[in-house]
Amino acid sequence: MSAWKNTAEFAKMKDESNPLKALREEYFIPKHNGIPMLYFTGNSLGLQPKGVKEYLLQELSDWEKFGVEGHFDAKRPWFNYHEVLTESLANVVGAKNSEVVAMNQLTVNLHLLLISFYRPSGKRTKILFEHKPFPSDRYAFESQAKLHGLNPEDVLVEMQPREGEVLIREEDILSKINELGDELAVVCFGAVNYFSGQYFNCEALAKAGHDVGAKVGLDLAHAAGNIDLKLHDWDIDFACWCSYKYLNSGPGGVSGIYVHERHHGEEVLRLAGWWGNKAETRFLMQKNFDPTHSAEAWQMSNAPVLSMAAHRAALDLFDRTSMDELRAQSKELTAYLEFVFDGLKAKGVPVEQLTSRNANERGCQLSIRLEGRTKDFVGVLAKEGVVVDWREPDIIRMAPVPMYNSFQDIYAFGKVMERIYGVN
């Protein structure tokens, strides 16, 4: 933008006018030599909300005080602890309360959902996914194909970008869906690709997939808490996500799923477990599974309360704003990061941006290629108090998270790069 300025004064002015600036004070920012780090890896692990300790101590206290009776007598009874997360999660992903539940871990949940929604029959066997998905997704697709006695090489279709390009053109995706037609069983994309940072048009994917009779699902690992999702309105069939990236709920934090309400009453094949049984009949210990008429039917085990307590503390901060507000600030921060790195390139720093320059086709991550650099460069930046993520062979991923990153962080990052490269 022509209005941007690469000055300390400009960055400070932008931060002072940020309507979400108070949220930054609600997180612990790691320090380097006593100074807050320039932390740009919220796309890998989000920072700790200051409220986490209070929530964890409450559960530890209730465990100490009540023992097993904490399932019903704790301040937030453990029996239905997942319910204290539901409304907040629904707001984050754009769903109805009945369509979401916090449970398990991401790839576990992807497998559980594929058991239900990947039901190959006849010639309809193929799974379409984006180029270079996170490896766990590919492994899940491969093993699900094998569960049905199919050869993954015959049924997995990886949507490729055009030769010489990194990003995948929307028209090519829609064309591929139409080409596969009645051979296509499931479309399952990472809504935001972990490597390139590309944000796909999920609504268009859903419509095209449904038009040819396929189910459409999403891996929201890099989208939940990052993008203003509208899963119900987009008519997505199923989705899952983790909570430790943009949702800031701690390493290995509890995952979540979404299942569109139209599937709740269907005779859907599930890997059933006790906790997916209706709460009213759960303790009858009956022979036949009586599924809850909601996404909770996919639950198998009781809640991991300590993990969910951290998640609750993190979601408190999302409740103080909205995804629309976060997305607006995200676009501003990411555009400024782009501006700063464009300035570095103009000064001779060999940097190439992989992520789209269209703000509507990315979240708050920028992936850049640094010519001639190896993974050791992460250590060089760390010595300067900058934390980024490396991907082979020469890619760094940076995420200016609107919850806690600032324009001044970005300006300072640029100055570090200038010193390293000897430009000004």
Name the residue ranges covered by the structural domains of the chain: 8-49+322-421, 81-319
Q: Is 287 helix (H, G, I), strand (E, B) or coil?
A: coil
> What is the share, in percent, of the chain residues with pLDDT greater than 90?
93
pLDDT tens, residue by residue, 5-16? 999 999 999 999
Q: Is 123 helix (H, G, I), strand (E, B) or coil?
A: coil
Is the pLDDT assigned to residue 1 strictly greater than 70? no
- Cβ pair 100, 238 in contact under 8 A: no
* Beta strands 238-241; 215-219: pairing state: parallel
Q: Quick one: pLDDT band at residue 282, thresholds 50, 70, 90?
A: confident
Residue 241: strand pairing partners: 256
pLDDT tens, residue by residue, 40-93? 999 999 999 999 999 999 999 999 999 999 999 999 999 999 999 999 999 999
In this structure, whether the domain defined by 8-49+322-421 belongs to CATH 3.40.50.1100 is answered with no
pLDDT tens, residue by residue, 136-166? 999 999 999 999 999 999 999 999 999 999 9
The CA R_g of the chain, rounded to the nearest whole Å, is 22
pLDDT tens, residue by residue, 356-411? 999 999 999 999 999 988 899 999 999 999 999 999 899 999 999 999 999 999 99
- Cβ pair 423, 349 in contact under 8 A: yes
What would the two tokens of residue 226 be?
Answer: 């990052």
- Cβ pair 277, 289 in contact under 8 A: yes
Q: Which helix (H) or strand (E) holds 186?
A: strand 184-190
> What is the share, in percent, of the chain residues with pLDDT greater than 70?
100
pLDDT tens, residue by residue, 260-278? 999 998 788 999 999 999 9
Residue 158: strand pairing partners: 129
- Cβ pair 103, 255 in contact under 8 A: yes
d(C-alpha 303, C-alpha 274), whole Å: 12
- Nearest alpha-carbon partner for 208 in 118, 128, 154, 277: 128
DSSP string, 12-74: HHHHHT-TTGGGGGGEEPPEETTEE-EE-BTTTSPPEETTHHHHHHHHHHHHHHHGGGHHHHS
Give the type of residue at 260.
H
Give me the pLDDT at residue 267, please: 82
Residue 28: strand pairing partners: 48
Q: Which helix (H) or strand (E) holds 102?
A: strand 100-102
Residue 380: how many CB atoms within 10 A of its CB? 12
Q: Quick one: pLDDT band at residue 226, thresholds 50, 70, 90?
A: very high
Query: Any residues with CB less than 8 A from the CB of 174 and at least 6 apart, and which?
Result: 204, 208
Answer yes or no: same fold for 8-49+322-421 and 81-319. Answer: no
- Cβ pair 241, 219 in contact under 8 A: yes
In CATH, the architecture of 81-319 is: 3-Layer(aba) Sandwich (3.40)
**Burial degree of 398 (CB within 10 A; 0-12, 13-18, 19+):** buried
pTM of the model: 0.96
- Nearest alpha-carbon partner for 175 in 128, 217, 125: 128
Query: Any residues with CB less than 8 A from the CB of 139 and at least 6 apart, and which?
Result: 107
- Cβ pair 227, 237 in contact under 8 A: no
d(C-alpha 54, C-alpha 259), whole Å: 32
Give me the pLDDT at residue 2, please: 65
